[in-house]
Amino acid sequence: MARLSLDPARLTAATAGLVAVDAARAARYPGDPGTRQPVHTCYVPADKVDAGTPAAWGAEALAALDEHAPTPGVLASVLDLPDELAEPVLARVRDKLATEPVEDLRVDFEDGYGTRAQDVEDADALRAADLLRAWGLGSAGIRVKSFDTSALLDRGLRTLDLVLTAAGGPPPGFALTFPKVTAPEQVEALVAVLALLEAALGLDARALRFEVQIETTQAVIDAEGRFTVPRLITAGAGRVTGLHFGTYDYTAACGLGAGDQHLAHAACDFARHAMQVGSAGTGVRLSDGSSNRLPVGSRETVHGNWRVHHDLVRRSLRHGFFQGWDLHPAQLVTRYAAVYAHYLSSAAADGQRLAAYVARGSGSAVLDEPATAAALALSLRRSVDCGALTAAEVTDHCGLDVAGLTALIERRPL
């Protein structure tokens, strides 16, 4: 019989304190929520939206594609796509723009909307409530004004109250974006207001949740040198669903000149990495910012700005940001082209690695850990969610259906 030196009772006493630690960690870091994450958020000022906005964005994007990149060859040339990817990417982008051009839409009452007379914003808020119900999108909502001043705070909360009251509570897929956050106390104040709204509208506790925009330097590091991102999530008391990066406010706050205010700047990389580290494992999802280089005007300008946008989206994907903001319908062309090229170019290799992991075979040149297998499975499931691949194509690559992928993501036995 094997001999042990440690007394079981003393061993239990020595490690008893870890029970509470493990429980706290499990509560704080539940992992990915398992629901579909949009690949983008379309940003439209509140006075510009109407019942046909999602379809109109798709139609305008298709028109731009037909005018400026009608063939696989032209698309490959503009975006520097491998020849073998150009045809499937173009076909799938066309289908996406015709069937589901907008995955997520935010009616903007902040910077893109500006300051209006009270009755004007009231009317737009009531109209937004009707539209959010009518669109029936998987994800759509509003961005209210910031809490920077008492006037902005009062107006933002009035708009939020009007929208939710008129809608009879949050419409399915409702998303609330909280901009220009500078301190956890602002998040705590919004949490308190949302609890009041839930009580007033007869909603379940924590039915109202929100995204925090990381677009101030204080949202990354505060005045005392403390790391702010985890504190914002804690202040959200389980209501924070996402962290969305604000390209231009953040780079301007860092003192960058207009020519250096873009997503590829190292200052943005620092903020993104802070967002990743501060939210990893919490279930709070990340969204990258936008590009203000709009694909409008001459073919040369459209092609140039498409190339910029496409490269920024591919770069965001490589950095682990699977969502971003789009400011113009024609950016949908390069949003989906970049996302689809990303998944199509990696699907075969990812599927092969995942199949080898599941088989526990010795023939694979890569020895993957369970965490990597979960990441491979999540990437393949994302490719199905956004329309880059079909479920059948993913099964051909790795041998697993969507349920099998989900089991690996959740670290459950197949």
Q: What is the pLDDT of residues 170-199, one digit of tens each?
A: 999 999 999 999 999 999 999 999 999 999
| Residues of the chain above pLDDT 70, percent | 99
**Helix-then-strand count for the chain, H and E:** 16, 8
All structural domains of the chain: 40-345 (3.20.20.60)
105: which 2 tokens? 């839409």
DSSP letter at 204 equals P
* Integer Cα distance of 145 and 155 in angstroms: 7
265, 334, 300, 256: which is closest to 39 by C-alpha? Answer: 334
- At 414, the pLDDT band (50, 70, 90 cuts) reads confident
Digit-coded pLDDT (tens) for 256-284: 999 999 999 999 999 999 999 999 999 99
Q: pTM of the full predicted structure?
A: 0.94
Place of tokens 């580290």: 277
pLDDT of residue 34: 87
Question: Are the CB atoms for 157 and 197 separated by under 8 Å?
Answer: no
